[in-house]
Amino acid sequence: MNEGDIAPDFELEANDGSLVKLGSFQGKKNVVLCFYPKNHLFACPSKRVFQMAEATIAAYQKIKEQDAELFAISIDTVQDQKKFVEEYGVPYRHLSDTAKATCKAYAGLNIAGLAKRSTFIIDKNGRVSKIFRDVSPEKHGHEIISSLQNLK
Protein backbone atom coordinates (compact mmCIF):
# COMPACT_ATOMS: atom_id res chain seq x y z
CA MET A 1 0.00 0.00 0.00
CA ASN A 2 1.20 3.49 -0.83
CA GLU A 3 0.26 7.07 -0.06
CA GLY A 4 -2.54 8.12 -2.40
CA ASP A 5 -4.11 4.65 -2.54
CA ILE A 6 -7.74 4.09 -1.58
CA ALA A 7 -7.73 2.59 1.92
CA PRO A 8 -9.14 -0.95 1.96
CA ASP A 9 -12.38 -1.15 3.93
CA PHE A 10 -12.61 -3.38 6.98
CA GLU A 11 -14.87 -4.10 9.92
CA LEU A 12 -13.27 -5.05 13.24
CA GLU A 13 -14.53 -5.42 16.79
CA ALA A 14 -13.28 -2.89 19.33
CA ASN A 15 -12.38 -3.29 22.98
CA ASP A 16 -15.82 -1.89 23.93
CA GLY A 17 -17.64 -4.51 21.83
CA SER A 18 -18.61 -2.08 19.06
CA LEU A 19 -17.97 -2.88 15.40
CA VAL A 20 -15.82 -0.33 13.58
CA LYS A 21 -16.21 -0.15 9.79
CA LEU A 22 -13.69 2.10 8.10
CA GLY A 23 -16.10 3.00 5.29
CA SER A 24 -18.55 4.52 7.76
CA PHE A 25 -16.16 7.47 8.27
CA GLN A 26 -15.87 8.36 4.58
CA GLY A 27 -17.04 11.91 3.94
CA LYS A 28 -17.25 12.52 7.69
CA LYS A 29 -13.91 12.08 9.49
CA ASN A 30 -10.22 11.58 8.89
CA VAL A 31 -9.02 8.28 10.36
CA VAL A 32 -5.72 7.40 12.02
CA LEU A 33 -4.85 3.70 12.20
CA CYS A 34 -1.95 2.79 14.52
CA PHE A 35 -0.84 -0.80 13.99
CA TYR A 36 1.34 -2.54 16.58
CA PRO A 37 2.43 -6.15 17.12
CA LYS A 38 0.70 -7.17 20.36
CA ASN A 39 -0.20 -5.95 23.85
CA HIS A 40 2.07 -8.45 25.55
CA LEU A 41 5.18 -10.05 24.14
CA PHE A 42 8.13 -11.59 25.94
CA ALA A 43 10.42 -8.75 24.88
CA CYS A 44 7.74 -6.05 25.03
CA PRO A 45 5.26 -6.38 27.93
CA SER A 46 2.03 -4.37 28.12
CA LYS A 47 3.66 -1.62 30.18
CA ARG A 48 6.23 -1.04 27.44
CA VAL A 49 3.49 -1.01 24.78
CA PHE A 50 1.69 1.63 26.86
CA GLN A 51 4.87 3.69 27.24
CA MET A 52 5.36 3.58 23.48
CA ALA A 53 1.79 4.86 23.02
CA GLU A 54 2.03 7.69 25.57
CA ALA A 55 2.92 10.40 23.02
CA THR A 56 -0.11 9.43 20.95
CA ILE A 57 -2.31 9.27 24.05
CA ALA A 58 -1.08 12.75 25.10
CA ALA A 59 -1.89 14.10 21.62
CA TYR A 60 -5.28 12.38 21.38
CA GLN A 61 -7.40 15.47 22.15
CA LYS A 62 -5.57 17.50 19.49
CA ILE A 63 -5.97 14.62 17.05
CA LYS A 64 -9.75 14.70 17.71
CA GLU A 65 -9.69 18.47 17.14
CA GLN A 66 -8.41 17.76 13.60
CA ASP A 67 -11.76 16.09 12.85
CA ALA A 68 -10.18 12.66 13.14
CA GLU A 69 -10.82 9.32 14.80
CA LEU A 70 -7.86 7.27 16.02
CA PHE A 71 -7.76 3.50 16.42
CA ALA A 72 -5.01 1.14 17.53
CA ILE A 73 -5.03 -2.27 15.82
CA SER A 74 -3.28 -5.51 16.69
CA ILE A 75 -3.93 -9.25 16.50
CA ASP A 76 -4.94 -9.35 20.19
CA THR A 77 -8.39 -10.67 21.07
CA VAL A 78 -11.20 -8.27 22.00
CA GLN A 79 -10.83 -9.39 25.64
CA ASP A 80 -7.09 -8.67 25.60
CA GLN A 81 -7.76 -5.27 24.05
CA LYS A 82 -10.41 -4.51 26.66
CA LYS A 83 -8.08 -5.45 29.51
CA PHE A 84 -5.21 -3.36 28.09
CA VAL A 85 -7.36 -0.26 27.51
CA GLU A 86 -8.91 -0.48 30.99
CA GLU A 87 -5.61 -1.19 32.77
CA TYR A 88 -3.84 1.80 31.21
CA GLY A 89 -6.78 4.18 30.73
CA VAL A 90 -6.27 4.49 26.97
CA PRO A 91 -8.81 7.03 25.62
CA TYR A 92 -9.24 5.60 22.13
CA ARG A 93 -10.55 2.25 20.92
CA HIS A 94 -8.31 -0.72 20.20
CA LEU A 95 -9.45 -3.00 17.40
CA SER A 96 -8.99 -6.74 17.35
CA ASP A 97 -7.74 -8.36 14.13
CA THR A 98 -7.30 -12.00 15.14
CA ALA A 99 -7.76 -13.06 11.49
CA LYS A 100 -4.79 -10.78 10.63
CA ALA A 101 -6.37 -9.69 7.32
CA THR A 102 -6.42 -5.96 8.07
CA CYS A 103 -2.96 -6.00 9.65
CA LYS A 104 -1.62 -7.81 6.60
CA ALA A 105 -3.33 -5.46 4.11
CA TYR A 106 -2.06 -2.31 5.79
CA ALA A 107 1.02 -2.81 7.95
CA GLY A 108 2.20 -6.17 6.74
CA LEU A 109 3.17 -9.01 9.05
CA ASN A 110 6.56 -9.79 10.51
CA ILE A 111 8.10 -13.26 10.56
CA ALA A 112 6.15 -14.09 13.75
CA GLY A 113 2.84 -13.20 12.08
CA LEU A 114 2.37 -9.96 14.02
CA ALA A 115 1.55 -6.55 12.55
CA LYS A 116 4.52 -4.34 11.82
CA ARG A 117 4.47 -1.11 13.83
CA SER A 118 3.13 1.59 11.50
CA THR A 119 0.53 4.33 11.25
CA PHE A 120 -1.79 5.26 8.38
CA ILE A 121 -3.55 8.62 8.03
CA ILE A 122 -6.70 8.29 5.92
CA ASP A 123 -8.45 11.42 4.72
CA LYS A 124 -12.20 11.96 4.55
CA ASN A 125 -12.22 10.76 0.94
CA GLY A 126 -10.88 7.35 2.02
CA ARG A 127 -7.37 7.89 0.62
CA VAL A 128 -4.17 7.05 2.45
CA SER A 129 -2.58 10.48 2.82
CA LYS A 130 0.41 9.53 4.99
CA ILE A 131 2.16 6.33 6.07
CA PHE A 132 4.59 6.17 8.98
CA ARG A 133 6.61 2.97 8.81
CA ASP A 134 9.45 4.07 11.11
CA VAL A 135 7.48 5.17 14.15
CA SER A 136 9.33 7.31 16.68
CA PRO A 137 7.32 6.71 19.88
CA GLU A 138 8.36 9.98 21.53
CA LYS A 139 7.40 12.21 18.57
CA HIS A 140 4.61 10.23 17.01
CA GLY A 141 1.67 12.14 18.48
CA HIS A 142 2.99 15.40 17.03
CA GLU A 143 3.73 13.72 13.69
CA ILE A 144 0.11 12.57 13.47
CA ILE A 145 -1.23 16.05 14.32
CA SER A 146 1.04 17.67 11.73
CA SER A 147 -0.09 15.21 9.03
CA LEU A 148 -3.73 15.86 9.86
CA GLN A 149 -3.21 19.64 9.74
CA ASN A 150 -1.67 19.26 6.29
CA LEU A 151 -4.94 17.76 5.03
CA LYS A 152 -6.72 21.10 5.33
User: What gap in Å lies between CA 45 and CA 88, rounded to an integer?
Assistant: 13
119, containing H or E segment: strand 118-122
- What percent of the chain clears pLDDT 90, i.e. is strictly above it? 68
- Residue 84, pLDDT score: 87
Q: Report pTM.
A: 0.92
Q: Give the orientation angle of helix 140-149 with respect to helix 46-65, to 10 degrees.
A: 20
Residues annotated as catalytic are 44
Residue 151: alpha-carbon gap to chain centroid: 18
pLDDT at 58 over 50: yes
Asked if the structure places residue 125 within a domain, the reply is yes
Q: 43: number of CA atoms within 13 Å, CB side?
A: 1
Asked if the structure places residue 145 within a domain, the reply is yes
CATH of the domain at 138: 3.40.30.10
The per-residue pLDDT for range 9-47, each reduced to its tens digit, is: 999 999 999 999 999 999 999 999 999 888 765 555 455
- Domains contained in the chain, number: 1
Asked if the structure places residue 128 within a domain, the reply is yes
Asked if the structure places residue 5 within a domain, the reply is no
Q: Give the residue numbers spanning the domain of 47.
A: 11-149
Asked if the structure places residue 3 within a domain, the reply is no
